[in-house]
Amino acid sequence: MAGPRFGSDPALKTVGLLGGSFNPAHGGHRRISLFALDALGLDQVWWLVSPGNPLKPRAGMAPLSVRLASAMDRARGTRIVPTAIERELGTVYTVDTLRALIRRYPKVRFVWLMGSDNLAQMHLWKDWRSIARTMPIAVIARPGYDGRAAASPAAAWLGRYRRSAASLKHRAGWSAPALIQLRFDPDPRSATAIRRADPDWASRFAGRVRRDPLTHHPVDPDIA
User: What amino acid is encoded at 19 in this protein?
Assistant: G
In the chain, the percentage of residues whose pLDDT exceeds 90 is: 56
Could you tell me which CATH number the domain at 13-185 has? 3.40.50.620
8 A C-beta contact, residue 111 and residue 168: yes
What's the predicted TM-score (pTM) here?
0.81
Q: Which residue has the higher pLDDT, 163 or 55?
A: 163
Sorted by where each begins, the domain ranges of the chain are: 13-185
Distances 109 to 4, 83, 136 between C-alpha atoms, Å: 20, 18, 9
Give per-residue pLDDT as tens, 33-60. Answer: 999 999 999 999 999 999 876 656 666 7
> At residue 185, does pLDDT exceed 70?
no
Residues 2 and 22: their CA atoms lie apart, in Å, by 25
Residues 29 and 153: their CA atoms lie apart, in Å, by 25
Half-sphere exposure of 197 (CA within 13 A, CB side): 8
